[in-house]
Amino acid sequence: MMTTPPFDDLVRAHGARVWRVCRAVLGPADADDAWSETFLAALRAYPDLPADADHAAWLATIGYRKAVDAYRARTRRATPTEVAPDEHVSTLGQPGAADDELAGAVAALPDKQRLAVTLHYLADLPYAQVAVELGGTPEAARRAASDGIRRLRTRLAKPATTRSGALP
């Protein structure tokens, strides 16, 4: 018989996974709030979750949605004038700056690529599960992830002046 394990088991098993997802979209400063909202929402819904639910996919997906919502809210607040995400000011020398820059690049990916990259490479979900959230086939999810990685590479290679720690 399937039983519902203590919620604490889920926090221990999937806490890092959800944090990676939130940080990839939001950067380390705002990831805490999204992580917390994710697990509170999950705790609220947990008693009604089917006993055979896949906890990794369930939590990673809630985390991804919470993070994207927070990212969109932040973008709305922060940009009265339109600024392209890759033109943000240098974060050289700030704590967590490398994380921030990388997360900024992930956040700036087109929706489908960002979802596929985050859920596959950072939440470790197989493409079959990424496809459930993305809609479409696992093969399409795989393509979205590899397109996303290619785009990240190009973006990160371009503005050498904002790369972390590099002296002129």
The two structure tokens encoding residue 98: 């490398």
112 touching other proteins, by CB under 8 A? no
| Nearer residue to other proteins within complex by CB, 32 or 111 | 32
140 touching other proteins, by CB under 8 A? no
153 touching other proteins, by CB under 8 A? yes
138 touching other proteins, by CB under 8 A? no
Candidate residues 92, 108, 140, 149; the one interacting with other proteins per rule CB under 8 A:
149
Residue 86 C-beta: closest distance to other proteins, Å: 15
Candidate residues 57, 131, 134, 152; the one interacting with other proteins per rule CB under 8 A:
152
Rg (CA), the chain: 17
Measured CA to CA, the distance from residue 31 to residue 20 in angstroms comes to 9
DSSP 18-83: HHHHHHHHH-HHHHHHHHHHHHHHHHHHGGGS-TT--HHHHHHHHHHHHHHHHHHHHHHHH-SS--
CB neighbours of 119 closer than 8 A, spacing ≥ 6?
21, 60, 61, 64, 125, 129, 130, 133
128 touching other proteins, by CB under 8 A? no
For binding to other proteins (CB under 8 A), which residues are involved?
Answer: 3-9, 11-13, 15-17, 19-20, 23-24, 32, 35-36, 39-40, 43-44, 46-47, 98-99, 102-103, 106, 117, 120-122, 124, 126, 149, 152-153, 156
